[in-house]
């Protein structure tokens, strides 16, 4: 009987911890996303797009460069996004490679930057082939 209560308590603590971790992660991501929107925007170019398929995950990795006034050469960076379907990740890769994209540059450190999903998605949708039979 005591063993059942202990296991119930352990499971309850584990579930509470997972929920807390998820909530804090969500709050942290939302805070960072809001802060990134205030960063200055430079234009960069996607130099490479690759799709990696693992056992349980599909990841699009974009390599990009962007120029800022303080640096004599373009700054290299990477962006990663998870997908549920390989076809979707490959569609993003095909649509974004060699494209100019808005790059949000950290004003305190120009070597830190972010690409926003929403901005990339707009580029992907704009480049999607039109279905003439629809």
Q: How far apart are CA 26 and CA 105, in angstroms?
A: 22
Has residue 30 got a pLDDT over 60? no
Has residue 99 got a pLDDT over 60? yes
Spatial CA neighbour of 32 closest among 106, 119, 118, 110: 106
Has residue 28 got a pLDDT over 80? no
> How does residue 86 score in pLDDT terms, banded at 50, 70 and 90?
very high
Spatial CA neighbour of 102 closest among 50, 60, 64, 76: 64
User: Which residues, 6+ apart, have CB-to-CB distance to 71 below 8 Å?
Assistant: 110
């Amino acid at each position: 009987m005591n063993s059942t209560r202990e296991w119930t308590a352990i499971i309850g603590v584990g579930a509470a911890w997972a929920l807390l971790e998820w909530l804090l992660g969500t709050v942290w991501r939302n805070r960072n996303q809001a802060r990134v929107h205030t960063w200055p925007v430079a234009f960069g170019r996607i130099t490479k797009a690759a799709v990696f398929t693992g056992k349980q995950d599909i990841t699009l990795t974009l390599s990009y460069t962007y120029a800022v006034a303080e640096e004599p050469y373009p700054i290299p960076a990477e962006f990663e996004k998870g997908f549920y379907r390989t076809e979707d990740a490959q569609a993003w890769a095909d649509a974004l490679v060699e494209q100019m994209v808005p790059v949000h540059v950290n004003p305190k450190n120009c070597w830190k930057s972010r690409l926003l999903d929403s901005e990339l998605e707009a580029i992907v949708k704009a480049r999607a082939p039109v279905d003439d039979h629809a």
